Structure formats: structure tokens, C-alpha cells
Structure 1
Amino acid sequence: MYKSEKLVHQIKQLIENGSYSPHTKLPSIRVQAEISGYSLMTVLNAYQLLVAEGRVYSKEKSGFFVAESYTPKTVNDSYTSGPQTVKINSKVFSYLKATQRLDQLYFSSAFPDEKCLYNAKIMRILATYAQKKPIDGINKNMPPGNAKLRQQIANRYNIQGIPTHANDIIITSGALDALNLSLQTLTTPGDYILLQDTIFYGAWQAAERLGLHVVTLPTDMQYGFDLEAFKNILSTYPIKVCWFMLNSHNPIGFTVQDEIKKKIAELLQQHDVYLIEDDTYHELYYAGHRPLPMCYFLNNEKVLHCSSFSKVLGANIRIGWVRTTHFSEKIQHLQFMSTLSANTLIQSTLADFIATPYYDKHLQQLRKQLYQRKNNLYRLLSKHIPKECHIHYYSSGYFLWIELPQNINSIDLFNILIEKNIGITPSHLFNIDQSPQNYLRINSSFELTPRHEQALYILCNTISQLINKRD
């Protein structure tokens, strides 16, 4: 457990046992740091996590106070849904076409600001390989991929205490390719799979394309995962595969604690269910160690772990991978019938770059920059967004998940803002609930230039207008 999470737990206990009554002012960040022995940054993270959970509220220039009451919430008030046939491609297509015409105000982008991701060292390596005519070893970059790159990826698993051989790694054309290949490997049309009720829309698209029955798991906004609902689902439905995102979740942002991951592993083992883990944002943590993937807790053929480099090195570095101890041959067969192989030039470049100290240095700088920008946007948004809204802040990644009043449809907000050249991502893209929804995701990775600040003011004012119109 991170230091900030330990402090959160301590403060929760003080609230629950009555030591801190409603509207009691918490010690200032500096005083709390002196009392606890933690750094100012750790205390700030803890307070922001408590605000995100609704246990604490902040007043500008006054500090942090205990909230009146607290009830853990899920993204939807509904319980687990039964099996459903997915139809989502049309609304994803409409959304992506609408945002294509946006001019630089990428609050809606799924990628970090490219300026944060640029690295001169990798560009020099890429230029060196590009000058070779032809590129050496093209055949060696065919599935399962560049041997040196696979070894470098395997080494990073081994450092986390996850025994991994280079042969356990298959290089793919990005994370979505890795996830799609994994799901296609494990399922046949008509199988039952389990998805979190709010998750990256690529999961829904894959389920639709493969003709799968989907059962959804409600999202616990406090812990990120509803273990009791998970247990009930596995006992009720013939689930073959779970597709979960547990670290720096997109779109909400939470990271599930290790204690919960252990229990997830136990239930998967007990019910003999496969897990595909989408761990695309695993490097974008702000404190402590890199979050552990599920293959640490269940290191067998039942877990296929998928990730990529695009969220830390840029959309043009579209190289992903699958870690699997059992399905390598089948995935490679599917690759030869579809994407064939990932870009050979990029594979060779990455293999050399990751072997240098520059890669980890780049990751450290990126985390620091994203942390600062997320906090800056959070503070500005907290100052101007209507008090009826709630910002869910989690200490990783670069997304903020905003809860609007229940009578405000985020699609209405999207349609108004898109005409003003401002993009947001409404929550209906991340689930298959057809009813109006009041959540949205914004990207916090971009520098707060005057133009971006003005766009944020327009966003907040538009929300205010919608609230007043509904009253």
C-alpha cells in the first residue's frame, strides 16, 4: 500500500470512529506532514483521494473539511446486468468523426500531450535505423517479434518478481491489437465474457465483433472493484473470460489495491476463468512502485497480460505486447492471418532504446510532468466548476472523471461544446447503457495555456447554464 493510501486509511478511521465530525477542518497539509512524517506531496495526494471519494471537501484558501455524510457509489445505480448483445460501433464511430475537426483543444484525447512524450534519444536511434536500406533482420521481426525487444520487456517483468522468458512475449501492433488477439484466442461466438460496466470502448467493440455475450460488473468508486458482485457473477453465469483494467483505469482513473487483486486471483482460480488484463497505463503511477499486474498474483496460463508503449512514447510508437505462458503459438497464427507483424523499424528502435538508462529517465520525467499538470487542472477545475459537480481524482494517469448532476446528460454537454471547438468524452462511450448519463472524462496532460484555460472556463460555464436550465 502506498504512503498516501496508508494516510487515507488512517483519516478514514478517524472519521468513522467520530474523532473527526462532519465539517471538522483537517490539519493543514504542512501540519499533517509534520504529524505523520510523510512528505507534503504524499499528504496532498491523500487529501485529494479523500476528496475524490466524497469523504472530504475543500474550500479555497481555507483548507480541507470532513464531508457531512458519505455513501460509496458505483458508476451506475443499477446492479449487475445479465448477458447482453453489444452494439456500440456506430456511436464510437460518430464520436470519433465529430472530434476529428477539433483544433488542438484535446480534452477528449485518449493520448497524453505529444510534447510530453517526445524523446530525442529514441528519435536519433530511429533515424539511424531509417538510413539502413534495407533494414537488417526484417524476418527476425515477424511474429513473435524482435528477440531483443521481447527480452527487454521480459526483463521488466522479472524485476517486478514475475518470472518471464522472452518466449512468453508476443509483439503486436499496439495494445488494442494485443487485446483483440487475446480475446479471439480464448473465445468462440456465443461465449460469455465479463467486462467492467465502465471501460475503454475497444472492449465493447471487440465483444460486438466476435459475437460474445457480455455480463457487466458494477464499478465501486471507492475501491475500483466490487468483489461481492464479482463473486456472485462467477457463481451465476458460465463466464469464460474476464477483460479487466485494474491499474490507472481508463476512463475513471483508479488503481485497484493489491489486497483486492489477490482475492480476484483466488476467485479466478476457483472458477477456472481466464483473465485478459488491459494494463496500458501501468507506467503512469505517481508514487511508490509500479502497480503489480494480475500475473503477479496468478502466474499461470490463465492470465494474458497486454500493454503497449504508445501512452509513454507517443501514438506513432504503436507497439504493444501480450505476455502469455500458454497461448503464444495460437496468437501468432492469428497474427499471420490479420496484422502479420508490428512495424519492424519501430521494433528495432525500441529494442535499443529500452536497453539504455534513457528509457527509465524518460518515464520519471513523464510521470512528474503528468502529475503536475493533472494537479494544476484539478485545482483550476475545482475552483470554477459548479458545486453540484464532483471531480473524481486518482493519483495516477492523466484523466479526470467528472460527475455532473443526475439531470444533466453529458451527451448534451458534448454536443454544445463541440460547436465551440472544445472536446470532452461523454460516459456513454464507455458502457452499453442506453439511458442518459451524467459522467464525462477529460484529459489533464496538456499545458494550461491561456487558450486551454479559456476552454475550461467555457466548459464550466456551459455546465452552469445546463444546471440552471434544468432547475
Structure 2
Amino acid sequence: MYKSEQLAYNIKQLIENGSLKANEKLPSLRDQVDRSGLSLMTVLNAYQELESQGLIYSIEKSGYFVAGIFSPLIPSNPNPTVALNAKVKINSLVFKYLKSIQPSEVVPLGSAFPNHQLLNPPKLIQIMGQLTRNRQNFEQNNNLPPGNFELRKLIAQRYCMQGIPTQPDDIVITSGCLDALNLSLQALTKAGDYILLQETIFYGAWQIAERLGLKVVTIPEHPQEGFDIEAFEQAIQTYPIKVCWFMLNCHNPIGFTVNEKIKFQIAKLLHEYQIYLIEDDVYEELFYRGTKPLSMKYFDQHNLVLHCSSFSKTLGSTFRIGWVYAGKFSEHIQHLQLMSTISANTLMQNALVEFISNHHYEKHLRVLRRNLEKNKRIFFEYFKKNLPAGCEIHNYAGGYFLWLTLPSHISSMTLYEHLIQQNIGVAPSQLFNVQHAQKNHLRINCSFAWTKEIEMAVKQLIKYMSKLQN
């Protein structure tokens, strides 16, 4: 273990055992150098690693502090083994669920999207309004696959800023991230192939696997790190895995971000076993403090990672423009795209070019992150004070979801079915885990301002949880 890793581990232990309290200031870099006898660079590397894990945060000219919403554990798996799901059947359940939370009167605590009041920036809407007055902005030819060149160029520049060499031709613009993920999986697999998923994962992954007739192998989450690297290696040694589909930054639904050391190990094993990875990184911009977590594409030296993301979680579902860093698969994905969605919305692509190139996007992201962090903290504090005994909150520095663990005898599906009758939506764990090994978890969307309506909905949730517990 490197000296910086040892120092980071020691500080992490102090946070986990409560020796360092939430929002407590850490020794300055110079003070830590004097205390530890390590070099300034070693201490800085340790602090930056802790910051990337969401354990600490920095304030300019003030120093480093312990994160106030740290949650050290994710739900432990009672049977932490690799599992094969030869025939996935979940689409009907997801369809019924999404239809049930669709009405406008439903309090959207089960929604996958952030509060629309934080999205749809007025400047972007203004730009779109201006562009609609010029017929040339509806010209389709320049926006057919692989998509608007200027937009691909801007996205490529954002990769380069993170140290990922990228050309516009590496990027294919899609109609949202799910479209990018769908096209990527179609490009890499055929019916009957084995793919590897995290055991608890965004339900879209299960739906696409069901539609394509794929055999799904799952690996459990690691109770401390989020990603179980040993289970990953066991799975790829046991089954002829063709492709992995992972979410490693602001994981949906649990919320953890996997650290860089594990990401490096994943990349090494992908190369050793020659397995492709489709990375679902739709929440990549929704970190709270410090620098943006690195994607797996950063660690990919052998063109085995297809990185998928979107503007829909930062700008709103109206602006459903996504992309895939397709590299050598770019042309294949474009062929598939021309047989399905054809292309992403032309006007929106043009509007995004102007919005991003004039630096409006970065300003919007800064405001969005602050609001999401503030709103999530309010939800967390309320749940912490009011949840009945036997419940746990799993909370991580990023995104806008809380993952709740209920007592083992309570079914989150039962809770959802009761609450939806009261026009309150929540997301039960059965949507994210086809094995239903974990039936007692809920995903809560915490992106909303704390209004009377939200407070009443949360009170109803807690009230019924208490009733089921008795």
C-alpha cells in the first residue's frame, strides 16, 4: 500500500468510528505533513482520494472538512454470491410501475428525474426560442448519425479536460442515455450471450437484457466499497461473459461512487479477460464537491469501454440528448441507430451547442449541484430523526437519491402499493433486483424543495412503515 493510501485509510477509519465528526475540520496540509512526517504531495494525494470518495470536502481558503452526510455502509447482501439469471422477466412490472407514478397529482418521490424546477434553464429555453425563428436550424442532414459535429466536438473537449484523449468521431449523439446504452448493448451482443450486471441496478438494464434475450450474471454490492472486485473476477472466470454493464458513479439506486483504485483493477481485469464494458454514467455531473469522479473510460487503455451519458439528468427530460463514446464501434452503432431512432432532435442539438459553448452549462451545473446537495441534506436529516427503529439510511455525497433499508419482514412493494393509492410514489427495490433477494429497500428522490406537500408525503411514508413494523 502506498503511503498516501495508508494515510487515506487511517483517516477513513477515524471517520467511520466517529473519532472525526461530520463537518469537523481536518488538519491543514502543512499540519498533516508535520504530524505524519510525509511529503506535502503524499498528504495532498490522500486528501484528494478521500474527497473523490465523498468522505471529505474542501472549501477554498478554509481547508478540508469531514462530509456531513457520510454513510459508510450499503445494504449487506445475505448471500453474497455470483448468480445466473438465464431468463429475465421484469418489463411488465416496470411498465405498470411507471404508469402508476405518471399522473401529475402523484408526489414524485419515486421519480428517476430531478425536480423539473431545478432544470430547464431559462437561458437554454431562450436559445431554443431564438433558433426556432430560423428554418436552417431544423436542417436534418447535419444532425444525422453520428450527430451534430459541433456538439460532438464540445463533448470531446469535456473528455479531454479529464485526461481522456477524445476526437469528435469517437462520439455518437443519441436520444438520451438509455438509447445510447441500448444501441451499445445491441452492437456488442446477440441473443443467448452472457452479460454481467451489478445485482442491484437501474431497471433499464434488466429491460434491455429481457428484450435482447441475454443471459444475465450478477455480482453483489460490496458493503464498504460498493463494487465487489473479488466477485467480479469470480464471475468472469466462471461464465463466458461477453459484456459488462456497470454504473460506478452516483450509482442508481444506492448512490455510491466506486473509488479510483477499484476502477483501475476493473480495467486491468477487462483487458486480461478481453471483456467489453458499457458504462452507464448518466449522473456523472451530479457530484457535490471537489473534482468530477473519473469514469472507467479514463482507465481504459485498450478500447474496451463504451461510455454512455446524457444531458437529461442535468437539463431536464425535455432535453433528452445523450451520447456514447463509441470509438471503433461508432459506425456499427450509427447503422443500428438509423434502423431505430434515426437521430436525436436537431433543434435541441443546435441549442446545446450555443448553450455549452457560451459557458452557460457550467454555471447551471454549479447552481444545480448546490440545490441538490441542500435538498438531499434536508431529507436526510428528517429521515434520520423520524424513521422507526430498525430502519437504515444509506446516503452518499452526490446525486439525489436516498436508499432506505426497512426491517426484513417489511416488503417495499407492499409499501409502494399502499402509498400509490394515496398519490405518493416511491421506488421499491423489486424494480432494481430481479432475484428479489432484497425486498425491503426503497429509493427516495430527494431533489425537491421541502414543501408542505413533500413533508406530508414523507410523514405518510413513515407512518405506514411504522404500522407495518408493528
Answer yes or no: same fold by TM over 0.5. yes
Distance 1:81 1:245, change over 3 A: same
Change in Cα spacing, 1:433 to 1:424, as seen in structure 2 (3 Å) is same
Q: Residue 53 of structure 1 aligns to which amino acid in structure 2?
A: P
**Structure 2 Cα separation of the partners of residues 29 and 209 of structure 1:** 45
Is residue 15–residue 66 contact of structure 2 (8 Å, CA) maintained in 1? no
Q: 1:90 to 1:234 in 2, by over 3 A?
A: same
Residue 205 of structure 2 corresponds to 203
**Is residue 33 of structure 1 aligned with residue 54 of structure 2?**
no
Question: Bigger shift: 35-44 or 328-337?
Answer: 35-44
Instruction: Give the partner amino acid of 2:69.
Output: Q
Using the TM superposition, give the Cα deviation of residue 400 of structure 1 relative to its aligned residue in structure 2, in angstroms.
0.3
Counterparts in 2 of 1:260-279, with a 5 A limit?
Answer: 260-279=262-281
Aligned to 1:48: 69
Task: Show the 5 A alignment for 1:438-457.
Answer: 438-457=440-459
Encode CA deviations 1:333-354: one digit per residue, 9 max, x unaligned.
0011110000001011011111
CA distance in 1, matches of 2:15, 2:184: 44
Question: Are the equivalent residues in 2 in contact too, given 1:285–1:396 (CA < 8 A)?
Answer: yes
In structure 2, the CA distance between the partners of 1:7 and 1:451, relative to structure 1 (3 Å rule), is farther
Task: Identify if the C-alpha distance between structure 1 residues 130 and 294 changes in structure 2 by more than 3 Å, giving closer, same or farther.
Answer: same
TM-score, normalization by structure 1: 0.88
User: Which position in structure 2 is the counterpart of 1:361?
Assistant: 363
> Structure 1 residues 118 and 42, CA, compared in 2 at 3 Å: closer, same or farther?
farther
Cα distance, 1:152 vs. partner? 0.3
The equivalent position to 2:163 in structure 1, one of 158, 161, 167, is 161
Q: Distance in 1 between matches of 2:152 and 2:365?
A: 19
1:290 equivalent in alignment to 2:309: no
Task: Tell me how far 1:118 sits from its aligned partner.
Answer: 2.7
C-alpha distance in 1, partners of 2:395/2:424?
21
The residue that corresponds to 2:182 in the other structure is 180
Deviation at 1:101, TM superposition (A): 2.9
Q: In structure 1, how many angstroms separate the alpha carbons of the residues matched to 2:6 and 2:466?
A: 36
Matches within 5 A, 1:107-146: 107-133=109-135, 135=137, 137-146=139-148
The question of whether the paired residues in 1 share the 8 Å contact of 2:281 and 2:295 is answered with yes
Contact 2:25 2:66 survives alignment (8 Å): no
- 1:15 Cα deviation from its structure 2 partner: 8.1
Task: Kindly indicate whether the alpha-carbon contact (under 8 Å) linking 2:26 and 2:65 is maintained by their aligned counterparts in 1.
Answer: no
Distance 1:10 1:435 in 2: 34
Q: Which amino acid aligns with 1:451?
A: E
SS at match of 2:13: helix
Q: Distance in 2 between matches of 1:290 and 1:82?
A: 34
Equivalent residue runs for 1:373-412 within 5 Å: 373-412=375-414
How far apart in 2 are the matches of 1:172 and 1:449? 36
Does the CA contact (< 8 Å) of 2:22 and 2:69 recur in 1?
A: no
Asked whether the 8 Å contact 1:75–1:198 carries over to 2, the reply is no
Q: Note if contact 1:218-1:226 (Cα within 8 Å) is conserved in structure 2.
A: yes
The one-letter amino acid of 1:467's match is Q
User: 1:42/1:408 Cα in 2 relative to 1: closer, same or farther (>3 Å)?
Assistant: farther
Answering whether residue 117 of structure 2 is matched by residue 96 of structure 1, we say no
Q: Which residue of 2 aligns with 1:62?
A: none
Residue 13 (structure 1) shift: 3.2
Of 366, 369, 372, 1:370 maps to: 372
134 and 419 in structure 1: CA distance in 2 versus 1, 3 angstrom threshold: same
Distance 2:395 2:28 in 1: 22
Q: Deviations over 1:43-94 (max 9, x none)?
A: 452x532xx225xxxxxxxxxxxxxxxxx85345342112421111111011
Counterpart of 2:50 in structure 1 is: none
1:415 corresponds to: 417
* Cα deviation digits, residues 403-442 of structure 1 (max 9, x gap): 0011110001101111111110000001111456000100
Flag structure 1 segments of 5+ consecutive residues without an equivalent: 55-71
Measured after TM superposition, the shift of residue 35 of structure 1 is 4.9
Q: 1:348-383 CA distances to partner (integer Å, 9 max, x unpaired)?
A: 101111111111011011001100111111001111
Over 3 Å counting, the alpha-carbon distance change for 1:406 and 1:138 in structure 2 is same
The runs of 5 or more residues in structure 2 that have no matched partner are: 30-57
Say if 1:227 and 1:29 are closer, same or farther in 2 by CA, change over 3 A.
Answer: closer
Deviation, 1:218, is: 0.6
Question: 1:343 and 2:345 equivalent?
Answer: yes
Post-superposition shift, 1:26? 4.0
- The one-letter amino acid paired with 2:267 is A
Cα displacement (A) at 1:325: 1.5
Counterpart of 2:13 in structure 1 is: 13
- Alpha-carbon distance in structure 2 between the residues aligned to 1:253 and 1:77: 21
Contact 2:28/2:63 (<8 A) preserved = no
Is the contact between residue 138 and residue 347 of structure 2 (CA under 8 Å) also seen in structure 1? no
SS of aligned partner of 2:222: coil
Question: 2:466 & 2:28 partners in 1: Cα distance?
Answer: 39
1:201-258 per-position Cα deviation (integer Å, ceiling 9, x unaligned):
1100111111111000111132110000001111111000000000011111000000
Per-residue CA distance 1:101-131 (angstroms, 9 max, x = gap): 3515110110000111131211111011111
Write the letter of the residue equivalent to 2:238.
Answer: T
Q: Which amino acid aligns with 1:13?
A: Q
How has the CA–CA distance of structure 1 residues 342 and 6 changed in structure 2, closer, same or farther, with 3 Å as cutoff? Answer: farther
The 5-angstrom pairing of residues 309-324 of structure 1 reads: 309-324=311-326
> What is the aligned counterpart of 2:230 among 224, 228, 231?
228
Secondary structure of 2:227's aligned partner: coil
Coordinate RMSD, CA, aligned: 2.1
Match of 2:335 in 1: 333
* Distance across 1 between alignment mates of 2:126 and 2:454: 32
C-alpha deviations, 1:379-401, integer Å up to 9, x for none? 01111111210000000000000
Q: Residues 434 and 102 from structure 1, CA distance in 2 versus in 1: closer, same or farther, beyond 3 angstroms?
A: farther
Q: 1:206-217 counterparts in 2 under 5 A?
A: 206-217=208-219
Q: Which moved more, 1:238-247 or 1:428-437?
A: 428-437
| Separation in 1, partners of 2:8, 2:302 | 33
| Structure 2 residue identity aligned to 1:340 | I
Aligned partner letter, 2:452:
P
* C-alpha contact 1:83 1:192 (8 A) present in aligned 2: no
Structure 2 CA distance for partners of 1:7 and 1:455, relative to 1, 3 Å: farther
Change (3 A) 1:231 1:298: same
CA contact (8 A) 2:114 2:447 kept: yes
Matched-pair contact (CA < 8 Å) for 1:374–1:398: yes
How much has 1:29 moved relative to structure 2? 4.5
TM-score scaled by length of structure 2: 0.88
